[in-house]
Amino acid sequence: MSAVRIKDRWGEQRLFEQRSLIAAFVIFALTSVLVGRLVVLQVVRHDYYTELSAGNRVRLEPLPAPRGLILDRHGKVLADNQPAFQLELVREQVPDVDATLKRLVEIGLLPADDLDDVKKLIRSRRKFDGVPIRLRMTDEEIARFAVHRFEFPGVDIATRLARSYPHREIAVHALGYVAAISESDLKRIDTGAYAGTTLIGKLGVEAAYEKELHGTNGSREILVNAAGRSVERAGAFVPDLRRVAPVAGADIITSIDLATQRIAEEALFERRGSIVAIDPATGDVIALVSRPGFDPNAFGRGLTRAEFAALNENIDRPLLNRALKGAYPPGSTIKPMVALAGLAYGVTTPEHSRACGGYFTLPGSRHRFRDWKPRGHGRVDMLTAIAQSCDVYFYDLSAQIGVDRLAEFLAHFGLGALTGIDISGEKRGLLPTPAWKRQAFSRPADQVWFPGETVIFGIGQGYLLATPLQMAHAAAIIASRGKSYQPRLVTALRDPVTNETRKLEPKLIEQVEIAQPDAWDVAIGGMVKVMNGGTASRSQAGAKYQIAGKTGTAQVFSVAQNAKYDESKIDERLRDHAWFIAFAPADAPKIAVAIMVENGRSGSGTAAPIARRVIDTYLLGAPTTELPPPKPIAGAPAPPPTATE
C-alpha cells in the first residue's frame, strides 16, 4: 500500500488497446442500432409517417353559407344579413383578461351583468381565436373604443355578417328569429352540415324554412401549425389546399304586405292582441300581428340573462304568439256561421223572424239567457239578427240546430282544428261537443252536457275557443263562399344567384257546400248590414268599398244571474275581449281579417276601426281613417299598479 508498485507499462498499453478495440466494436454495434432504427422509421414506415405528417398540418375549415333573405310580397326586405361590428378578444394577446374586461365595463362598452358569461365564453374558446365579447356596436361605441384602443392589446373590432331585421318588432311573430344553436337544436340537425354555422332559425318562417334558408356550407383546407393556428406559408410542404364554395340559402318570398303589417302593428300599439289578414282567394297571410312583440335582433346578438328574464316574465307575455297560440272565446263573430248552419241544416229560413224581448228561456226552464241589449231588439229576421248581433235569435237558433250538428258544421270553417299554416306552434282552440265533455272532465257531474251550454254556444260563449288565425281563416272561407285555403306565409323561394323563383301552389283544403242556394248571400248580406246601420256602421263611414264584418265581444268574466255587468267595477284584465272579423270588398273579397284586442271591451268600438285601417292600407295603400281614442270608462277606479308594468 505504501510501496509504489512498479508499473507494467507494456501490459497497461496492451490492456488499453484491447479495451479500445472492444469499445470500437460496441460503438459500431450501437451505431448500427441507430441506423437500424432509421431504416424502420424512414424506409419501412415512411408512408405511414408521411400520412401522419400531412394530417398534422392540414385542417378543414368550414365556410358558412350566407343565409337566405326573407322578403315581403313586394320584395321588401324583412330579414337580411348585415355586416355588424363586434368587439373581439384574443386571449393569448391580452396580458390580463380580468383587468381588460373590467376596464371595458368602466368605459361602458360591456354591461357589468354580462361579465361572468363573457369570462365563461372566453375560457371555452381556444386561446388564439377571436371571441366576440360585444356584438352590434353602435358608431358612437366604435368611436369610443377607438379613443381607448391603446389600452386594450388583443381586443379589436371585427366585422361579421349578422342577421338583421330592419323593421325590428314588425312581423316578429310571423318571421321568428335566429339565435345561437342550442343543445336541443343539435339533436335534430345534421351537425356536419352546420359546422361553421352559429345561428339557427327559431320559430316562425326562420324555423319552418330553416333548411331552405340555411343553404349548404362549404369548406376549405388550411395549413395549420401545432397550435392549430392557420398559417400562410410557402414551401414544398404546403400541399394543394382544396376549397368547396358554399351554396347560399334560398331567399324566401312571403305573402306579408309590409305596409299592411306595419299599420296593423301600430293599431295595437300599447295593447295586447292580435291581427291576422288573409287573402281569401289563396290563403296567403297578408299580415300576422301579435302584440306586444319583441325585437328579434336582440336574440341574434345573444340576450343577457336579465334581458331574457324581462321578456319571459313580462305580464303582457311578448314572447307569446297570440295569433297562433292565443285561444279566446270568439263571441258573436261566429254568428254568421251559426246562421249558415241553420240554413244548411234547413232549421230556419232567411225570412223567418222572431221577437226578441231581451232574454231567452229554454222550454221548462226559468233560466234567462240575456241579450246584450236589455230591452231587446223587437222582431228580427236573420239579416237583422246578424246586423244587430241579436243574442236571443242565435240562442234560439243554436238550440234548434243542436250542439253536435253545430260543432260538425263549424269544423268545416277550421274551428277546433289546426289551420295547417306553414309555421309551427299553432293551437287547436276548442270546439266543444257532449262527447268532448265526457272525456275532458273527471267528475261525473261535470261530464253532463247541459242544454244551456248549447244555447250560449250560438253566441260564441261557453267552452268554445278560437285563435285569431282560425277566425281570419273562417272569415276568408265565408268571403270566398266556402273555399277553404290552407293559410300560408311563404309563397315562393328564390335562388339568390340566378334569381330563379319557384312558386308554391296554394292548397285548397275543401269547398264547403251548402244545399240552400242563397245561404252565402244571406250570411254575407248580414255582415254587410253590420257595416250599414248595424253594430259597426261607423267603421264603414266614408269607405270607397263595401266591408262585410261582424263584431264580437267575448266575456272573460262571468256575470252572476240577475247581476249587471259593470265595466268600472272589474279589473282591466277581466274586461271583455274585443273581436271583429271582416272581409272586403264584400262582392269580390281581396282581404279577410280577424282583429282580437285583449280586454278591448268592445268589438265595434275598438276592433272594427282597426280593421278599417288595415283593409284601407291593403286595398288603397294607406289608411283613410283615424283610430278613435279609447272610450273613457265611467267611474273607473285607478288601475292597480301591477296591471301593465
CB of residue 199 to other proteins, shortest distance in Å: 32
Within 8 A by CB and 6+ apart from 452, the residues are 362, 365, 367, 369
**C-beta closer to other proteins: residue 57 or 220:** 57
Determine contact, residues 204/173, Cβ cutoff 8 Å: yes
CB of residue 153 to other proteins, shortest distance in Å: 23
* Helices and strands (H and E) in the chain: how many: 22, 23
- Among residues 269, 275, 309, 313, the alpha carbon closest in space to that of 292 is found at 269
Q: Could you tell me where the DSSP H helices lie in 189-313? A: 204-208, 210-214, 258-267, 297-300, 305-313
**C-beta closer to other proteins: residue 237 or 557:** 237
- Among residues 616, 31, 595, the alpha carbon closest in space to that of 271 is found at 595
CB of residue 63 to other proteins, shortest distance in Å: 22
Determine contact, residues 264/179, Cβ cutoff 8 Å: no
Compute the distance between CA of residue 296 and CA of residue 517 in angstroms, rounded to an integer: 49
Q: Residue 158 pairs with which residues in a beta bridge? A: 86
Q: Which residues bind other proteins (CB under 8 A)?
A: 1, 4-5, 7-8, 11-12, 15-17, 19-20, 23-24, 27, 30-31, 33-35, 37-39, 41-43, 45-46, 48-50, 52-54, 56-57, 223-227, 231, 233, 235-237
CB of residue 25 to other proteins, shortest distance in Å: 12
**C-beta closer to other proteins: residue 225 or 558:** 225
Q: Which of 164, 255, 290, 332 is catalytic?
A: 332
Within 8 A by CB and 6+ apart from 495, the residues are 250, 251, 501, 502
Compute the distance between CA of residue 511 and CA of residue 284 in angstroms, rounded to an integer: 17
**C-beta closer to other proteins: residue 49 or 441:** 49
**C-beta closer to other proteins: residue 93 or 625:** 93
> What is 576-595 written as a DSSP string?
PEEEEEEEESSSS--EEEEE
**C-beta closer to other proteins: residue 191 or 230:** 230
Phi, psi (5° rounding) for residue 4?
A: -80, 120
Compute the distance between CA of residue 86 and CA of residue 334 in angstroms, rounded to an integer: 52
CB of residue 95 to other proteins, shortest distance in Å: 22
> What is 11-57 written as a DSSP string?
HHHHHHHHHHHHHHHHHHHHHHHHHHHHHIIIIITHHHHHHHHHHHH
CB of residue 241 to other proteins, shortest distance in Å: 13
Determine contact, residues 439/380, Cβ cutoff 8 Å: no
Within 8 A by CB and 6+ apart from 341, the residues are 347, 401, 405, 406, 409, 410
Compute the distance between CA of residue 602 and CA of residue 498 in angstroms, rounded to an integer: 51
CB of residue 88 to other proteins, shortest distance in Å: 24
Compute the distance between CA of residue 54 and CA of residue 51 in angstroms, rounded to an integer: 5
Q: Is the preceding omega at residue 585 within 30 degrees of 0, hence cis?
A: yes
Compute the distance between CA of residue 463 and CA of residue 599 in angstroms, rounded to an integer: 18
CB of residue 29 to other proteins, shortest distance in Å: 10
CB of residue 124 to other proteins, shortest distance in Å: 19
**C-beta closer to other proteins: residue 34 or 622:** 34
What the block records as the C-alpha cell of 37 is 432504427
Q: Output the 3-class SS for 615-641.
A: HHHHHHCCCCCCCCCCCCCCCCCCCCC
**C-beta closer to other proteins: residue 226 or 634:** 226
Edge-to-edge strand ranges of the sheet holding 218-223: 58-63, 218-223, 243-244
Compute the distance between CA of residue 301 and CA of residue 87 in angstroms, rounded to an integer: 12
CB of residue 238 to other proteins, shortest distance in Å: 8
Catalytic-residue membership of 332: yes
CA angle 124, 130, 133 (to 5 degrees): 75
Q: Residue 288 pairs with which residues in a beta bridge? A: 276
**C-beta closer to other proteins: residue 220 or 428:** 220
**C-beta closer to other proteins: residue 15 or 99:** 15
Active-site positions read 332
